[in-house]
Structure 1
Amino acid sequence: MYENGIDIPSHNASIKGCDHLLHILSLSPRRPQKFVLSYFSSIMKGMHHSRCLALLFAVLLGLFSLSSEREIKNQHRELKHGDSDYVFNHTLAITLAQYSSAVYTYDVSALFSWTCPRCTADKIKDFEMVEVIVDIAYCLQAFIGVDHNLNAIIIAFRGTQMLSIRNWIEDILLIKLDLDYPGLPGAKVHSGFYASYHNTRLRPAILSAILKLKNTYGNFSIIVTGHSLGGALASFCALDLVINSVEKDVQLMTFGQPRVGNAVFATSFNKYMPKVIRMTHQNDIVPHLPPYSSFFPKTTFRHFSREVWLHEEEVGNDKQLVEQICDDSGEDPTCSRSVYGNSVSDHLDYYGLVLTSDGSYTCKLISTDGNEEHNEGVEGDIRLSRNPNPTLFRQSS
């Protein structure tokens, strides 16, 4: 559904709260700002007044930053790929997008047996599943196994469910840099994203499975992936493996992930994790959140690099999908930041793949002080595990 050119979920509630302020701001001659404000007006329905004002401040912060960046973007069109020798691989991107789609499978049994419809995608059909982990309370799901064509351990995290995407977008607009990342002075992250990986069943199960796979297959590389919230969790997982588990060959590719930390965290992240691709798509709204401002670089969220922006360009009479490799700043003004992130539809579609669940969930973002931890056997948690079987794979090859 479109309102004033904005791609948003349907709704029937009436506008309440600070919509009058938004109306005044929407009279600005900068019509793209009017469109964005109209979108955020739609998600403010029924919000408490103080919460609404906080949200409005966050939106304005992003808008004014974007305006300044659009004015200078033409100065940056010749930026190169930087010093990183990590090369973007189109085939790998398709492969990991297929894994990021498969992890959304609602039927855990079909996912574990690798018989789900999305599991039959051409580049991942021979995947060796080893473990599926589900945290029912916080709607978290991940799997780990081996891609023998890549000689790599694959870890995939599920993202946000379609039924809760609107509420989730509202939540991440307002989240704060409220946790010091352990061992990285000055690096701050959002505690909810951090805790969703570190303080749930996901981390211990994944570390245990990696040890099992390493004992069987030796020093396979590790590739971590995920979409949306799953991309945020994948980021913390990859960094954890390098810093705390001292893994030497870890790659990360995410799709439509939000910002997770401040500028110091982004710089530290790329220091420890040089093999990173952060995929964005057209006008996907989530990579624009939480808001970043070049006016307040030390106190706002900032992306780590390297972004690859999928977008359509006109070639003659046709439209062609372009994979634009962005600069190493993490906030390249010529990539996704050159457009207004106003589309949920673009968020749910990468390379034509469906990146949302095939079932129904009720999800919420974890809110924690970072000291909580789910215990083994919490009611509703699911962990399906098997031993690696290289003999079986050789027989089927």
Structure 2
Amino acid sequence: MERRGLLKAALLVCLFVLCSAREITTKDHPSNTIYNPKLAKTLVEYASAIYTADLTQLFTWTCARCGDLVKGFEMMDIVVDVENCLQAYVGFASDINAIVVVFRGTQENSIQNWIEDLLWKQLDFDYPGMPEAMVHRGFYTAYHNTTIHDGVVSGIQKTRKLFGDVPIMITGHSMGGAMASFCALDLVVNYGLDGVKLMTFGQPRIGNAAFASFFKKYVPHAIRVTHAHDIVPHLPPYFSFFPQKTYHHFPREVWVHNVGLGSLVYSVEQICDDSGEDPSCSRSVSGNSVQDHIYYLGVSMHAEAWSSCRIVMDYSKLRYQMDINGNIVLSKQPVVSLSGDQEHSDQ
């Protein structure tokens, strides 16, 4: 009995050490943390808020998910691409003194079909300006070739004019994480913006090893949070026997999972290596859970509405601009001109 008690005590100490050492620094820059758990919890709440069904509540930041760590956020723009069922928002968070950009992910009603498509999705698009870098065409075009791109870039530019050259924190869950990644790279490479940081939750792979290397160079402050057996970070599949010809995650992963024995179970946020495909992190387990995909750091990523394309808002209370295809930009400032658009305001 005494020996068993000592073993339990030793296990408890080990778990305490694992759970306490979540914020790790680089060897070259010991003052710079790789991963900040509190920031992660804040950003996951922003990523959850975008699943709010009522755009009026989201724009006025009065939604049920708009409190706690994200209370006081100042919304600037919401961009809704109705044609492609896409959405993003841009605003300013005074507590972290940063612009926050959030992209919405896939809804539960379509996630199973989306996962099945990703199982067989081939690298099918050459990333512009980078030899040998190939990416997922669907994720690339969802950001670059829709209303989302111009709306988000305009929102960032307007917010920086108001608040100065503050850092830009970009986040998203699921497919929203994939779009957030392309956005971060776009802002650095094509717009020359500095202070761009990325943290995504449960995002899929978006390109090959050459692209991952390119991404690491230009967006060094990037974190991909994965959760337990979440299936989506395992897709499209990675094949270790020909790593240069397959999809490959960019670094750095933080794998959130439970460790322990019996009643002594604790959540650990494990910082992985800088390869992007650390075999000791989420790749060490089977990716077979949709449930793990829709909960991150204890926060629900469920959508409030079943349909991701239906717009719910009070048109009489908001300034908005709509193009001929029904795509909408809600804004506190004059919005970027869309093709064939009309501006509406309660003022």
What TM-score comes out, normalization by structure 2 length? 0.82
* Secondary structure class of the residue paired with 2:304: coil
What is the deviation of 1:82? 7.0
When residues 172 and 82 of structure 1 are mapped into structure 2, their CA distance, relative to the original with a 3 A threshold, is: farther
**Residue type of the partner of 1:172?**
L
What is the deviation of 1:86? 4.6
Q: Deviations over 1:307-328 (max 9, x none)?
A: 0000001167321110000000
Residue in 1 aligned with 2:103?
A: 157
More moved, 309-318 vs 184-193 = 309-318
Q: Is the 8 A contact 1:82 1:328 kept in 2?
A: no
* Secondary structure class of the residue paired with 1:150: coil
What is the deviation of 1:128? 0.2
More moved, 271-280 vs 293-302 = 293-302
Residue in 2 aligned with 1:346?
A: 292
1:294 paired with 2:240, answer yes
Q: Is the 8 A contact 1:142 1:157 kept in 2?
A: yes
Q: How does 1:1-397 map to 2 (within 5 A)?
A: 85-120=32-67, 122-314=68-260, 317-361=263-307, 377-387=323-333
* Secondary structure class of the residue paired with 1:310: strand
For 1:225 and 1:169, the matched residues in 2 are separated by: 21
For 2:260 and 2:144, the matched residues in 1 are separated by: 44
For 2:217 and 2:304, the matched residues in 1 are separated by: 37
What TM-score comes out, normalization by structure 1 length? 0.72
| RMSD (Å) for aligned C-alpha atoms | 1.8
What is the deviation of 1:81? 6.1
More moved, 172-181 vs 231-240 = 172-181
For 2:306 and 2:328, the matched residues in 1 are separated by: 17
Q: Is the 8 A contact 2:140 2:179 kept in 1?
A: yes
Residue in 2 aligned with 1:55?
A: none
Q: How many residues align?
A: 297
What is the deviation of 1:218? 0.9
For 1:280 and 1:115, the matched residues in 2 are separated by: 29
Q: Deviations over 1:3-53 (max 9, x none)?
A: xxxxxxxxxxxxxxxxxxxxxxxxxxxxxxxxxxxxxxxxxxxxxxxxxxx
For 1:89 and 1:362, the matched residues in 2 are separated by: 31
Identity among equivalent positions (%) equals: 54
- Specify every segment of 5 or more residues in structure 1 that has no aligned partner in the other structure, as ranges: 1-79, 364-375, 389-397
For 2:215 and 2:72, the matched residues in 1 are separated by: 32
**Residue type of the partner of 2:35?**
F
- Specify every segment of 5 or more residues in structure 2 that has no aligned partner in the other structure, as ranges: 1-24, 310-321, 335-347
